[in-house]
Structure 1
C-alpha cells in the first residue's frame, strides 16, 4: 500500500505539473497581469479536482489518504507558482492562520524542506500558510535594537547583515525590543543565521516590536544572536 501511495504521488505530480504548465501558458498569453490571480485559482482548482478524481478510482487508496496527497500537492504547486511569479519575498508558516515557526522565502527555488530550513535546528517538512513581505528593501534597511523590552537600555542602530551580534560588539545573546525604521529583517536565535527565525517588518506593528511575544507565536525567549536584511 505504501508503494502504491508513493507511485501514485509521483505520477500525479508529473501529470499535474504538465497540465498546470499548459494552463498557465495559456493564461499568461491571454491575461498576463489583469486576470493572473483568477487564472491561477482556476488552474489550481482544476488540478485539485483531477487529483481527487484519480485518487478515488485507485484501489487501496482511502479517502483520507487521497485528500492528504492532493492537499499536499496543491500547497506545493501553489507555492511554486507564486514564488516563481512574484518579485517580493514571502514568509512561510508551520501552521495555518500564520502561526508556528516562520521561514523567510526569498526569490528562488525550494525543491525540498531543507531549502527553507537551511541550517535551522528545527526542521519543518510542510508549510501551511504564506504571506508576502512587501516592505523588503535590501539597499535601504535600518533597524534599532534595544537591550531591554519597551525600547529601554542600550541601543544599537544597524543597516547591514550581522552573522554574529556578539562578535560585532553586542554585549549579550538577547535583544529586548526592536524598531524597524525601514525595510524588512529576519532575526535568528543563534549565530550564523541558525535556529528560530523571526521576521521583522517596518509596515507591521508600526515597525515596533516591544517584546518577544510580538515576534511570532513560536517565540519563547529574547534570544537573538544574528540578523540580516531580507532580499526583495
Structure 2
C-alpha cells in the first residue's frame, strides 16, 4: 500500500508500480492517467472506495452518441479519445455508455465545460435518486433533501451556495448556474463534507439534475 498526497508523473519510476488493482480516495478529486507524464486515457476519481479497476471504468471502453432522445436516430460509436466530434454528427440528444468512464468536453480539443460520464451498470442505479444539501460545511446549517431535478436551487429553496452534501442514492450532476448551465460536477453516492470534495473552487451552485438523463 502507498499513500499519495501530491502529483506523481510516473508511478513506475517512483514506486515501481505499473498496475493498480484497487484504491481508496480519502480526500479530494484525482485524475488517474493510463500512461506516465499525464498521457493516455484519463479516469476521474471522486472520494470513495474502488475495490477493482472496473470501479473507475478501466476496461475496453465504448460510448455511443445518438442524434435523438431515447437512443434513436443516427448514431456514432467511439472506443478511444477523440479531439473533435463535430464532423461525426450534427446533434446529440442521448448517450449510451457501454463500458469505461468518459470525460465529455463542450468544445473541440478538450476545452470548455466538462462532465464525467460513468457506465450504466444496472437498472437499480438509475431507478432511485436521493441527496441532501447543506448550507454549511460538515452537514451543518439548513438541510434540504432532493429526489428529483431542480432547475433553480435559489428560486425553490433560496440556496445560492452549498458547502456540503450527502448523495444517498443514484448519481447526480451539480451545475454552477441555474437551468443546468455552467461548470458541471458529477456526484456519485457518498459524503461530500466540503465543496472541494466534488472538485469545486467555491460553493456557488445553481441547479441539480439526476445523472440518468445522460444515458
When the two structures are superposed, what TM-score results if normalisation uses the length of structure 2?
A: 0.49
Larger Rg computed on CA atoms: 1
When the two structures are superposed, what TM-score results if normalisation uses the length of structure 1?
A: 0.46
Which protein is richer in strand relative to its size?
A: 2
